[in-house]
């Protein structure tokens, strides 16, 4: 499903952000990619989003070799991914329903399909009764659930979550993680990039640890210990 083969990424100055990384994630897996700031987590997620290209090596996602993917095919590729960010990235001037429906609009789903899918996914994340609220009227946890609903509504094969609990309190963090687990149980591959030790250790999932751009451990049911 996701394969990184000897991937390096260097910016103009300094140490490479990722240094000769090889990693394979199977369909249906739940993987944490962890590390302190500067470990290369953000670069990892940006490479998977095809926001950046690797300096060396090849990345294959869902059968697409990202290095060779032409610009015009990026939108179609991204539609196969669901993405959740630390800062939620919701459209502030649109209500919950419109934010989720937007993902369906982008892939040009007819309005009739959209009217069925959006309430369904809002029910899944527990926000069916708040569909008319604007993001600013919601708590951080609720905003992240809207972002999750938006990421899920197109039924992606892969869900990428970049520090999904970074702006949340412990209770909301646990709830978001439960949701991610539920989504994973339905067959979606979930990759969570985080530095939230408590959450990682509570979940007992595969943990890939990064330090200064290098994988220092990759364990099933792993834990995130002090670097």
Partner 1 sequence: MRISTVGYSAKQGIKNIGRNKMFSIASIATMSACIFMFGLFFSLIMNFNFILKNVESNVGITVFFDEGLDQGTIDIIGQEISNRTDVKSCTYVSADEAWESFSERYFEGYEDAAEGFKNNQDNPLANSAHYEVYVNEIEDQNDLVSFIEGLDGVRSVNQSQEATKTLTTINQLVTIVSLVIIIILLIVSVFLISNTVSMGITIRREEIAIMKYIGATNAFVRLPFMLEGIIIGVIGAIIPLVVLYFLYQKAVTYMLTRFTVLTDFMNGLLPVEQVFIWLLPIGIILGMGIGFIGSTVTVRKHLKV
Cβ 92 to partner 1 shortest distance, Å = 8
Residues that bind partner 1 (CB under 8 A): 49, 51, 75-79, 81, 83, 89-91, 93, 102-103, 105-108, 110-111, 150
CB 8 within 8 A of CB 14: no
DSSP per residue over 60-106, as a string? EETTEEGGG--GGGHHHHHHTEEEEETT----TTS-HHHHHHHHHHH
Q: Which is nearer to partner 1, 23 or 77 (CB)?
A: 77
Residue 153 vs 208, nearer CB to partner 1: 153
State which residue, 76 or 186, has the beta carbon closest to partner 1.
Answer: 76
Shortest Cβ 109–partner 1 spacing (Å): 9
The alpha carbons of the chain give a radius of gyration, in whole angstroms, of 17
Report, in Å, the least distance between residue 12 CB and partner 1.
Answer: 18
Q: What are the Cα distances from residue 126, in Å, to 61, 121, 129, 160, 192?
A: 30, 9, 8, 20, 21
> Which residue, 23 or 102, has its beta carbon nearer to partner 1?
102
Question: What is d(CA 147, CA 67) in angstroms, rounded to the nearest whole number?
Answer: 28
User: Residue 85 corresponds to which tokens in the numbers above?
Assistant: 């960010």
> Which residue, 14 or 110, is less far from partner 1 as judged by CB?
110
Question: Which letter, b or e, does each residue of 140-178 get, where b requires 16 or more Cβ atoms within 10 Å of its Cβ?
Answer: bbbbbbbbbbbbbbbebbbbbbbbbbbbbeeebbbbbbe
- The nearest distance, CB 153 to partner 1, in angstroms, is 10
Q: In whole angstroms, what is the distance from residue 97 CA to residue 133 CA?
A: 8
| 182 CB neighbour count, 10 Å cutoff | 12
Minimum CB separation from partner 1 for residue 46, in Å? Answer: 11
Rounded Cα–Cα distance for residues 205 and 202 (Å): 9
Residue that is written with structure tokens 């990428």 in the block: 160
Smallest distance, partner 1 to C-beta of residue 139, A? 20
Smallest distance, partner 1 to C-beta of residue 163, A: 15
In terms of CB distance, is 106 or 185 closer to partner 1? 106
Q: Which is nearer to partner 1, 20 or 154 (CB)?
A: 154
């Amino acid at each position: 499903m996701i394969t990184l083969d000897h991937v390096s990424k260097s910016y103009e100055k300094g140490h490479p952000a990722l240094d000769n990384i090889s990693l394979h994630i199977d369909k249906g897996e739940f993987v944490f990619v962890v590390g302190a700031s500067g470990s290369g987590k953000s670069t990892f997620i940006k490479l998977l989003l095809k926001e950046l290209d690797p300096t060396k090596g090849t990345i294959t996602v869902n059968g697409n070799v990202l290095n060779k993917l032409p610009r015009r095919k990026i939108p179609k590729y991204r539609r196969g991914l669901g993405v959740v960010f630390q800062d939620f990235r919701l459209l502030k001037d649109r209500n919950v329903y419109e934010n989720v429906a937007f993902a369906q609009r982008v892939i040009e789903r007819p309005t009739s399909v959209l009217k069925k899918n959006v309430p369904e996914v809002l029910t899944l994340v527990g926000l069916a009764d708040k569909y008319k609220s604007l993001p600013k009227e919601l708590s951080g946890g609720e905003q992240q659930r809207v972002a999750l609903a938006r990421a899920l509504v197109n039924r992606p094969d892969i869900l990428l979550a970049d520090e999904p609990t970074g702006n949340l309190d412990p209770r909301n963090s646990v709830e978001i993680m439960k949701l991610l687990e539920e989504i994973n149980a339905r067959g979606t591959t979930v990759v969570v990039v985080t530095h939230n030790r408590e959450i990682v250790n509570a979940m007992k999932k595969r943990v890939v640890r990064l330090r200064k751009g290098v994988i220092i451990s990759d364990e099933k049911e792993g834990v995130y210990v002090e670097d």
